[in-house]
Structure 1
Amino acid sequence: MTTTEPPPFEPSKIELKSVADSKIIAVSLYSTRAEITRLFKFEVKTGQNQVHIAGLPNVLETESLRVEGRGAATIHDVTVSMAKGEHVPTSSPKLSELLSQREKTANSLARCEKALTSLEQYLGSLTVQHLEVSHLDKVLEQYDSTGGRLDAKKTELTEELRRLDAEISSERALIAVPHENSKLRMQAAIGVFAESEGAVEIALIYAVPNATWTAFYDIRVEMDAKDEDPVTLIYKAAVKQNTGEFDYKSWDDVPLQLETSTPTFGLGKSKSSRGAFGGRGGRGAPVPAMRMRRAQMFMDLAAEEDDDMDMDMEYAVASVSSKGNVSATFRVPGLVTIPCDGDAHNFTIVQLNLKAAMSWVSVPKIDPKTHLNARITNASEYTLLTGSASVYVDGSFISRSVVPAVSPLESFDCPLGLDPSIRITYHPVLKTRSQSGFYSKTVTQVFSQRITVHNTRAVAIEGLKVIDQIPASQDSQIEVKLVSPALGTSAEGGGGANKRASVLLKGPTQAPAQGPVVNVANGVVAQWDGADEPSVEVETLGRDGKVNWICAVPAQGKTSFALEWEVAAPASVQIVGL
């Protein structure tokens, strides 16, 4: 009895091209790389199928590759490797023709130069034995005519040779450009065992570098806004990619997610469980068999392929799939196209209407101009990343600024440039001098500095801070007393504007304690500069002699206040710096 050996099992081979046979159904873009999801749809036969996918980008990070799918089949293994280099053409019909022309021209030039040399040798060999004097004119005439023709031909051939050399160099440079497939030479081999013949879907998910996004902003402020949200912040993303996937299908009409986190691909362990699908594999690394099942991800993504997105003419809002202080994910509305050119392509994430507290600051002792600032509160669910901002006030471009990293419900400062409608006059200082003492004479100088604020705006302002400074003593013999505003210590009970309480600034180490806020005029209070900062060190207040006034000025109104101080020292001491 004879038995016949069964024929060796030969798996069905399926050849796929990455770009031609797939579609990018998701791009998650991080600050330094992108995670690409490519969906392949193909038919399998019952039994073992060997799926070969060619044309993946060279920069693919192999440790990041994983395979997911749906259908009645099982993934047995995944291997990734670099395909052998394809032949890059080193010649072309045009180059061959140019080289042939050059060879003919070079030969003609060589013959011309040889003829000229022979002509010179012939003329030099003539003697009176070989040539009668009566024939000399005719020989010289023939020499001159022949030499002229040869010189002209040599010049013509030399120029032709230069032209051909230039064309040859240009053609060689043109054909030396690598073929586009030279950047798409990674390949994946996937073993798929199918229970029955039919269609399956497989997604390749992998990370590639050379893809980035950065945040930037337009900040528009309406100073006379009647509502409580005077700031419009337009959150934008500048996206660049130079991954090598430059076929027209690669990043054309793809859904884009912007990630604020920084992932570490390939360092985590792959997970598998009964009923799960997918696999992770590096170069030559087999993946345990995993059952393919119907995945919600594919159901969602496939549904998106058939949906028509209704877009308004307003700014479309990006959805936030996760949020918080650590990371967030922004889904850019609609489908986007990002060429592989390394250039920035800009997209709007969202337009936000935000609250802001306006404040003005001036140091008229240095410059009477007033600087405007907006304290903007991020009352949205969006995490703002660090990025540049173009700032507009009442429709006019003011400056460029930087938005720091801001979590939801946090606030940040946005300088809005100079406000010419707030005019501050720093009047000339008034000075008086007196002397006291019988044996030890003391000289006392009293200084008074008046400041006037004029609000030319049609609306009242609040929160104008004016900063000034009295001298700080660096010598124990010199005493500096702040007379007005009367910013005394709590123990001294520093009182109102009419009380002449004083604070002693004596020597380089002594400083007053924090005193109360003093009302010095209608809508004007004074304090030690820095007293309203949350991280202030109380013991340092007043050490530098800085005082500020917080003013509320009515529309078209004016207000004035003064800084007064005394400097006392022995008459023999010379004071410098007043």
Structure 2
Amino acid sequence: MPYTMNISASDYPIKSVKVYKSKAEIVRTFKLELKSDQNKIEIVNLPSDVVRDSVRVSGLANARLYDVVCTIRTSRDAEDTVLESIRLLQVKKAELEGQKNVRQAEADLLVSWAKGVTAEHVAYGDMPAFLRNFVSQGKDNLDAVTNISEEIITIDRQIQSLKDEKELRKGSTNAKVVVVIGAQGQQSVSFDLTYAVTNASWSPTYELHASMEVGQPTTLHYRAQVTQSTGEDWVDAPLTLSVTGTGGISHTIPTLLPLKIRPAFKPVGGNQFSAPPPFGLSMARSNAPQPAVFGQSSNLFGTPAAPQAPSAGLFGSAAHPTQAFGASGGRDKAVPASRSEAELQEYVDINPFGDDIPSEPSKPTTVASESPLSISFAIEGQTTIPTDGLKHQVPIAILPVGVEFSHIAVPRIRPAVYIQCRVTNTSEYRWLAGNVSVILEGNHVSSVYIQGVSVGKSFDCTLGVDSAMKVNYEKKSVVSKTAERSFAEQISIATCTTKVTISNSHKYDVPRLLVRECLPLSSPDQEVKVVLKSPAELADAKDKEEVEVRDGLKVMWSPVVDGKGGEKDGMFEWRSSVKAGGEIILDANWEVRTPNGKWVEYSDPQWAQ
């Protein structure tokens, strides 16, 4: 029979804790005295959330490992140690209360007997001795009752403390690991027990400490919010946080499938256009005759598209009757080829593997180890994380960052100037996705969630409204008509003007001011046309091109983000600076041309915001 010993995991120190996004790996060190031959070691009070297949033993040196078995008791069989401790304390309290009742009954009996004492029972000369004995007995009894009452109060406090602990404590420790180790003789052994647990996670969080004073550094405080409800406290444990590129999901290498070519569908009824290919793909082609599919000079999968005619800007001054905003030119649309032109079509899946291809692992500030699939970084010193299910903040690093302040106004919606901070990742590691609390001049002003910022990239956060910048927004329109003629359509022309005035009452210059504005869009049927008159330089500007209106004042089409904005949506922005105590005036003018008598509703959805 092997020598058996029963030990509690909580009595042995934690060597390390590595926390992943949804689990943790714990390593405990056990130092034991083994007997000769086999030793059966039962390690109890391990987390009930232990992953059984993850349990392993290492570091046995000369000893031999025979077996490792992990079992988890069900809630019906498990014994709650906290409830058991409360039960034992309640039994002790009941015993003390019984002793107190006996002592109180003894005191009552002593007093009752003393009241009935007369000269017949105690001679006058024995009275002093009787009284001394009575007082001494009464004092001993009173001291005993007082001591018992103190013990009862102490037990009540212990019971309440255990109840509070149970209320805060999350998880249970109903798992047991049995390790069978063989030794050639009596010897000391130290081994590590490693096991993974669920109900543990971490997420990054940040604090951006910024100041608008010249020369003051801006820093990003990188922290981790660690949460665990495994049932065991991590006390004074070396903590490591890990990020895996696969997110803990098993992946298989995708299989490359052949690209198939097959005849296009020819609809019944003589329609010359072939049906659209499956999977929602649009196969645009030129109407020019095509050579054979496998001809010497042709492309296997169709001929090149016809060249496109040059196009002026949407808001160009040379108006074309079919173009929005008075623009000229346009793009030629390719017509689907008929079956007679080409008997075959190619069907290609744009993204056959979906979106589950893991992205490049992000890099933390302090790297402990790095591999193609994971990156880990260690927390300096030792950390204690109780099993309470609460978020505990653990500092990781303080990073210097690049920062650029801008003043941005959208006066059409609100007459205010906002302060925006653009933070650039100047560290050597990628910032993980998380919430950023912005602290400006020691005050919390806003919060922003970032999706992850690569090295050299940046994110924007709004700090609030600059009360020292005043905005005045004026708009007006005047309607006129063209002269009525026999063979020409009469046109109604609405001349619209906006005027934005921004003043700076700061004692310093505002070097970067952006004012966002938009123009109305022409109607889909092109009966309503919009022509930009001022700033005239913007009408011929290209995307991402800044054009100068006057000294220090520039205008450009707004950047296109996620397919929105820019010239196609009529969005543009002024860019300038404002001197201390100065102001700037921005004027825009455009015409809305409609056929006379056609009712037009000028809708501005901005005011609904």
Report the TM-score range of the alignment, normalised by the length of the smaller protein.
0.5 to 0.7
Aligned to 2:209: 220
Aligned pair 1:529/2:558, yes or no? yes
1:36, 1:206 within 8 Å by CA — same for their partners in 2? yes
Distance 1:569 1:54 in 2: 84
Aligned to 1:58: 48
Aligned to 1:74: 64
What letter is aligned with 2:182? F
Aligned pair 1:13/2:62, yes or no? no
Give % identity: 29
Aligned to 2:466: 419
SS at match of 1:320: coil
Aligned pair 1:433/2:422, yes or no? no
Aligned to 1:466: 515
SS at match of 1:407: coil
Cα deviation code 1:71-91 (max 9, x no counterpart): 222222211224664597679
Match runs of 1:245-284 below 5 Å: 245=232, 250-261=233-244
Aligned pair 1:446/2:495, yes or no? yes
TM-score normalised by the chain length of structure 1: 0.63
Pair 1:182–1:473, CA change in 2 (3 A): closer
Distance 1:566 1:265 in 2: 59
2:29, 2:190 within 8 Å by CA — same for their partners in 1? yes
Aligned to 1:45: 35
Distance 2:477 2:67 in 1: 90
Distance 1:94 1:14 in 2: 29
Residue in structure 2 matching 1:374, options 417, 421, 429? 421
Pair 1:459–1:33, CA change in 2 (3 A): same
Pair 1:193–1:521, CA change in 2 (3 A): same
Residue in structure 2 matching 1:238, options 215, 225, 232? 225
Distance 1:181 1:225 in 2: 49
Pair 1:555–1:325, CA change in 2 (3 A): farther
SS at match of 1:225: coil
Distance 1:334 1:212 in 2: 20
1:27, 1:257 within 8 Å by CA — same for their partners in 2? yes
SS at match of 1:543: helix
Match runs of 1:26-425 below 5 Å: 26-82=16-72, 85-86=78-79, 93=91, 183-226=172-215, 230-245=217-232, 250-261=233-244, 319-322=366-369, 327-425=374-472
**What is the deviation of 1:360?**
2.9
Aligned to 1:569: 594
Residue in structure 2 matching 1:483, options 510, 533, 552? 533
Cα deviation code 1:338-376 (max 9, x no counterpart): 222222222211111100222332211111112222221
SS at match of 2:592: strand
Distance 1:372 1:524 in 2: 19
Pair 1:266–1:80, CA change in 2 (3 A): farther
SS at match of 2:581: coil
SS at match of 2:580: coil
Pair 1:262–1:50, CA change in 2 (3 A): farther
1:31, 1:262 within 8 Å by CA — same for their partners in 2? no
230-239 or 565-574, which deviates more: 565-574
1:324, 1:408 within 8 Å by CA — same for their partners in 2? no
**What is the deviation of 1:463?**
3.6
Cα deviation code 1:5-60 (max 9, x no counterpart): xxxxx43434332112x110101112222211100011223433333322222221
Cα deviation code 1:361-414 (max 9, x no counterpart): 221111111222222122224443322222122222212222322234332222
What letter is aligned with 1:456? S
**What is the deviation of 1:181?**
14
Distance 2:238 2:194 in 1: 14
Distance 2:592 2:250 in 1: 69
SS at match of 2:384: coil
Aligned to 1:557: 582
Distance 2:373 2:32 in 1: 40
1:31, 1:214 within 8 Å by CA — same for their partners in 2? yes
- The count of residues paired between Structure 1 and Structure 2 equals 417
333-342 or 374-383, which deviates more: 374-383
TM-score normalised by the chain length of structure 2: 0.60
**What is the deviation of 1:98?**
13
Cα deviation code 1:268-308 (max 9, x no counterpart): 9xxxxxxxxxxxxxxxxxxxxxxxxxxxxxxxxxxxxxxxx
SS at match of 1:436: coil
Cα deviation code 1:525-562 (max 9, x no counterpart): 112233xx47668xx84333332212223333322221
Distance 1:406 1:568 in 2: 46
1:323, 1:382 within 8 Å by CA — same for their partners in 2? no
Aligned to 1:158: none
What letter is aligned with 1:212? S
Q: Flag structure 1 segments of 5+ consecutive residues without an equivalent.
A: 1-9, 101-166, 269-316, 496-512
Pair 1:257–1:461, CA change in 2 (3 A): same
What letter is aligned with 2:583? K
Distance 2:187 2:243 in 1: 40
Distance 1:267 1:16 in 2: 36
SS at match of 2:387: coil
Distance 1:368 1:427 in 2: 10
Distance 2:250 2:224 in 1: 28
Aligned to 1:456: 505
Distance 2:175 2:10 in 1: 12
Distance 2:58 2:371 in 1: 29
1:487, 1:515 within 8 Å by CA — same for their partners in 2? no
2:435, 2:448 within 8 Å by CA — same for their partners in 1? yes
1:488, 1:515 within 8 Å by CA — same for their partners in 2? no
Aligned to 2:137: none
Pair 1:348–1:560, CA change in 2 (3 A): same
Pair 1:366–1:54, CA change in 2 (3 A): closer
Distance 2:463 2:447 in 1: 9
What letter is aligned with 1:572? G
1:432, 1:445 within 8 Å by CA — same for their partners in 2? yes
What letter is aligned with 1:470? L
RMSD value over aligned CA atoms?
3.8
Distance 1:535 1:342 in 2: 38
Pair 1:181–1:200, CA change in 2 (3 A): farther
32-41 or 514-523, which deviates more: 514-523
Distance 2:566 2:45 in 1: 68
**What is the deviation of 1:516?**
4.9
Pair 1:519–1:266, CA change in 2 (3 A): closer
Aligned to 2:570: 545
Cα deviation code 1:224-269 (max 9, x no counterpart): 2326xx5321112222222111xxxx4221111122238888989x
Distance 2:197 2:582 in 1: 62
1:488, 1:516 within 8 Å by CA — same for their partners in 2? no
Distance 1:459 1:181 in 2: 55
What letter is aligned with 1:73? A
Distance 2:582 2:425 in 1: 33
Residue in structure 1 matching 2:549, options 511, 516, 520? 520
What letter is aligned with 2:214? A
1:432, 1:446 within 8 Å by CA — same for their partners in 2? yes
